[in-house]
Amino acid sequence: MAESGKVEIKRTSCYLCSRQCGVRVHVQDQKVLKVEGDLKNPVGKGFTCERARAAIDFHEHPKRLNYPLKRVGERGEDRWERIAWKQAMDEIAQKLKETRDRYGPEALAVLGGAVHGPGDWAAWRFTNLFGTPNIFYQGKNCGEAEFLMECAVYGYQTYHSIDTSRTKCMVVWGGNPAASNIPYFKSIIEAKKNGAKLIVVDPRLTETAERADIWLQLRPGTDGALALGMLNIIINEQLYDKRFVDNWCLGFNRVKETVQQYPPEKVEGITWVPKDDIASAARAYATHRPAVLTMGVATCHIGTGAKSAVQAKAILRAITGNLDIQGGDVLGREPQKLAWLENLYWDSLVDSPQRKRDNVSADKFPIASVNGYKLFRKAMKKVYPRGYGAAMFMLVPNSTYIWSAIAEGKPYPVKAIITEGGNPLCSLSNAKNAFKALMSKNLELHVAMDFFMTPTSQLADYVLPAADWLERPNLCVRWGMQEHYVAGEQSVAPMYERKNDYQFWRELGIRLDQRYSWPETLEEMYNQFLKPWGKTFGEFVKMEEPWYFPPPAYKKYERQGFATFSGKVELAPSILEKLGYDPLPTYVEPARSPMSTPELAKEYPFILISGSRVRPYVHSCYREEEKLRARNPDPLVQIHPDTARQLGVNSGDWVTIETPEGKIRQKAEVTERIHPKVVHVDGYWWFPEQSGKTPHLFGLWESNANAINPDDPELCDYAGDLPFRATLCKVYTAEHG
């Protein structure tokens, strides 16, 4: 018990975005006084962004959810009654039991959002024991297409980091770390000071692209053609690592034959990138070793063009000899000294006697399914006997199929939804389909747990208050995809009746035949994770350095091979062939583009991109925070000056953006940072200050890019990721609407 009046300093990690930077929290009598960066913590190294500096406002916000609520009116009427946690848990568990008994465990789907605590892995633990494969988290659209392809090509994902003293070239492809990952961006700047080259692939001149030695401004969605053009140069000019290719790669000749179809002259016509720039970037990347080529969220957002992009990027890493070397793209390892997979029960789901069906989109996107995960597990068995750390990324369904399973019962009924920290009405394409499903009488139960009332939680039957990162102990594992982990102290007791996500899933679990699978507290669960290390969480969190970073290991394949069926890098992956996919990185044009749909492009002449990170927000989060909102108060659509003149638009004008799915309004930002044929739309917008009742739903339909982004499965990529970028739109002023 802390001495009254004494100021204590708690060391933990900030969960207001997925970086989870180390912080020091000053606390007096259970009140948070200050949050500052922890200079000793290797995650962040003392850095804090504006979100962390607003953490106290977030913690004490007057609109925070503080008590369990039960709907008493129709969905969307915003009529609630306050109930006790026990009543909420009893009623929810009873309804889930009835759903499972009548329709099977697969009739439950769990939807998650931004990382904000133990909820993601606790949810997976529950759903795996319950027997449902319908687990959709935002990681689906934050990289699944690239993670799966890396695993198919060389058996694990690369841990994209920069050794600032050794890395000689950095390719930032499909991201803008100046907005989305500040610590990584700071590493880029430091490496450049040490002489490293920076290549940026982006349709916009972002803050990161401004720093580039070579900026490749490509047509959105043509990333695969660009990567194949770079491979054409590297292979034909013999700039690849011949020894590594001869000893460790399969399928090189097939890839060599494929890339002959993509000479720089042809690629220039597809991508709008000058052929000389393509050649310069390829030569710089291949000859300045060691080099890193980042995973990029944007390359998982381009629909049908994504497969060739992510596969060609993986091939680039491999044949240039930059794979698993110091200063290059190092292959990750599952967390060391941590009982992670054993305690998430993925095998229980895979081999579950209760589960009779795969996820709802398994037939359409077999690589992202339980059967697909089984195949990956078999391929990885020799190197990773326990499977892949972030198994969730290998079996997430396409969200469109969840909505059709609710509204139409196809391919089988989904009758219950638990939305945990997620806001799919804002964060997933074609919000109209999600709205129809969540309002459907076919949906018998919808539970939401979050910090604030959102457009999505307004349509729930029960809304539960989540504890924030200051109100719980933390063990940062990053979904099991990275080998290090960090312990964090609980700073203060939860206010009001907020509970951490683990408590929610545990209380459901003990009511649904999982009584002996859930330790009583989150700390005891952490003890179970840490058992192989021989430390308790209490011991770990009180260490002078409460983090574990194992010594780096390079060229691990020399000892154990690659975690593929052949034990080698499979440039034309056998696992793709087994699942019915083209094993080669053949370029496919985006399903809606000036080239693939020229008639549609006559009516919708601009290429629309959305979904990029805009500070200080994280996707749909933090628009309630006045200090943060003041930095970016309105949704902005970026338009080139030539286009603006053509449309009669000035900066600050409200304009309409329309697609075949509908129309929204945003404020014009006229800028030369974008191509005249491209417009960039702010994503995820809603207005917490507006009415939450239907049909308003906090202004959901007014400016939300995902109200007009398509979600047709035929437009999605090979893993079912949604097409947030590289589609078509038109723009006009209000008076021309």
Question: What pLDDT is recorded for position 2?
Answer: 66
The residue among 614 and 571 whose pLDDT is bigger is 571
Binned at pLDDT 50, 70 and 90, residue 176 comes out as very high
Q: What is the mean pLDDT of residues 246-274?
A: 98
* Pair (502, 373) in one structural domain: yes
Q: Is residue 664 part of a domain?
A: yes
Q: Is residue 152 part of a domain?
A: no
Q: Is residue 583 part of a domain?
A: no
* Pair (28, 103) in one structural domain: no
Distance CA 288, CA 320 (A): 10
Terminal-residue alpha carbon distance, the chain? 64
CA-based torsion, 508, 509, 511, 517: positive or negative:
negative
Question: What pLDDT is recorded for position 65?
Answer: 97
426 close to 700: Cβ distance less than 8 angstroms:
yes
In tens, the pLDDT along 481-524 reads 677 888 999 999 999 999 999 999 999 999 999 988 999 999 99
594 close to 601: Cβ distance less than 8 angstroms:
yes
Query: Which range, of 285-294, 463-472, 606-615, averages the lowest pLDDT?
Result: 606-615
500 close to 450: Cβ distance less than 8 angstroms:
no
413 close to 103: Cβ distance less than 8 angstroms:
yes
Distance of CA 624 to the CA centre of its chain: 22
Which residue type, as a one-letter code, is found at position 596?
A: S
Question: What pLDDT is recorded for position 334?
Answer: 79
Question: What is the C-alpha R_g of the chain?
Answer: 25
* Pair (542, 561) in one structural domain: no
* Pair (317, 426) in one structural domain: no
Binned at pLDDT 50, 70 and 90, residue 581 comes out as very high
Q: What is the mean pLDDT of residues 514-537?
A: 94
Specify whether the backbone of 99 is left (phi greater than 0), alpha (psi in -120 to 50) or beta: alpha
Nearest to 134 by CA among 97, 104, 108, 98: 108
* Pair (183, 115) in one structural domain: no
Q: What is the mean pLDDT of residues 451-457?
A: 95
What secondary structure does DSSP assign to 571-588, as a single string?
A: SS-HHHHHTT--SS----
pTM: 0.95
179 close to 207: Cβ distance less than 8 angstroms:
yes
In tens, the pLDDT along 595-649 reads 999 999 999 999 999 978 787 877 778 888 888 888 889 999 999 999 999 999 9
Question: What pLDDT is recorded for position 142?
Answer: 80
Q: CATH number, domain at 182?
A: 3.40.228.10
Nearest to 594 by CA among 730, 728, 715, 714: 728
Structural domain boundaries, residue 45? 7-59
Nearest to 230 by CA among 275, 175, 174: 275
Residue 19 scores a pLDDT above 80: no
* Pair (605, 723) in one structural domain: yes
Q: What is the mean pLDDT of residues 256-263?
A: 98
Binned at pLDDT 50, 70 and 90, residue 737 comes out as very low
Q: Is residue 587 part of a domain?
A: no
CB proximity list for 381: less than 8 A, separation 6 or greater: none
Tokens of 470: 């200051």
Q: CATH number, domain at 500?
A: 3.40.50.740
Neighbours of 351 (CB within 10 A): 10
Residue 20 scores a pLDDT above 90: no
> Is residue 549 helix, strand or coil?
coil
Residue 185 scores a pLDDT above 80: yes
In tens, the pLDDT along 29-76 reads 999 999 998 899 888 887 888 888 888 998 999 999 999 999 999 999
* Pair (427, 500) in one structural domain: yes
Percent of the chain clearing pLDDT 90 (strictly above): 78
Neighbours of 262 (CB within 10 A): 26
Question: What pLDDT is recorded for position 118?
Answer: 52
Query: How buried is 158 (Cβ within 10 angstroms: 0-12 exposed, 13-18 middle, 19+ buried)?
Result: buried
Question: What pLDDT is recorded for position 291?
Answer: 97
Question: What pLDDT is recorded for position 114?
Answer: 62
> Is residue 315 helix, strand or coil?
helix
In tens, the pLDDT along 315-326 reads 999 999 999 999
Buried b (16+ CB within 10 A) or exposed e, 657-685: bbbebeebebbbbbbebbbebbbbbbbbb
In tens, the pLDDT along 102-126 reads 999 999 999 987 655 555 889 999 9
| Domain count across the chain | 4
Nearest to 18 by CA among 114, 161, 158: 114
Distance CA 238, CA 683 (A): 42
Distance CA 283, CA 271 (A): 18
* Pair (111, 13) in one structural domain: no
* pLDDT, mean over the chain: 93
Tokens of 718: 């090979």
Q: Is residue 166 part of a domain?
A: yes
Question: What pLDDT is recorded for position 49?
Answer: 82
Distance CA 454, CA 61 (A): 15
164 close to 384: Cβ distance less than 8 angstroms:
no
Q: What is the dihedral of CA 423, 424, 427, 428, to 10 degrees?
A: 180
Distance CA 190, CA 355 (A): 50
Query: How buried is 551 (Cβ within 10 angstroms: 0-12 exposed, 13-18 middle, 19+ buried)?
Result: exposed
In degrees, rounded to 5, the angle at the alpha carbon of residue 446 between the alpha carbons of residues 442 and 449 is 165
Q: Is residue 134 part of a domain?
A: yes
The owner of tokens 């910090």 is 451
The owner of tokens 């507006």 is 690
For 532, which DSSP code? Answer: G
Q: Is residue 342 part of a domain?
A: yes
Q: Strand pairing of 445-450 and 330-331?
A: unpaired
* Pair (644, 691) in one structural domain: yes
Q: Is residue 589 part of a domain?
A: no
Distance CA 25, CA 14 (A): 10
Q: CATH number, domain at 610?
A: 2.40.40.20
Count of helix runs (H) and strand runs (E) in the chain: 27, 27
* Pair (381, 494) in one structural domain: yes
* Pair (400, 440) in one structural domain: yes
Nearest to 300 by CA among 674, 726, 735: 726
Q: In sequence order, what are the beta bridge partners of 169?
A: 197, 291
Per DSSP (E only), the strands in 443-528 are: 445-450, 462-465, 474-476, 485-488
* Pair (268, 188) in one structural domain: yes
Residue 183 scores a pLDDT above 90: no
In tens, the pLDDT along 383-427 reads 988 888 878 788 899 999 999 999 999 999 999 999 998 899 999
Tokens of 609: 């991109």
Residue 347 scores a pLDDT above 90: no
> Is residue 636 helix, strand or coil?
strand
| Highest-pLDDT range among 18-32, 237-251, 295-309, 533-547 | 237-251
